[in-house]
Amino acid sequence: MDTIFFEQMAFYAYHGAFAEENKLGQRFLVDLELKLDLSDAARNDDLEKTIDYGLVYQAVKAEVEEQTYALVEAVAERVADRLLSDFLLLEEVRVKVTKPDPPIPGHYRAVGVELYRRRS
């Protein structure tokens, strides 16, 4: 299985369990690994045999920025569902959603979730 990846797509959204997160918003970073067979696309230099990166970005942006969820787990799940629904060549997806600046005390670089889903 081959991989298309996206690293640290940045979005501003209003997800969180605290009221101030829903009101003020914050940055979210999304990483993806899209698993599919890219051999035909590579051999034939054919965009129709792969996944359009711009369309992936727009789908992720819509899921992250147009809804509000209490949990980043829900954001990641919606992104995975949308990608598997929209891109029929996609077999498996890994979605990582990171909150680099969550409103919780302590010293850390970021918090987030990572999930893996496959077409059933």
Catalytic residue set? 99
CA 19 to chain centre: 23
| Contact call for residues 99 and 26 (beta carbons, < 8 A) | yes
Locate the DSSP E strands across the chain.
2-13, 26-36, 92-99, 111-118
Say how far apart CA 69 and CA 17 lie, in whole Å.
Answer: 8
In the sheet that holds 26-36, the strands lie side by side as 2-13, 26-36, 92-99, 111-118
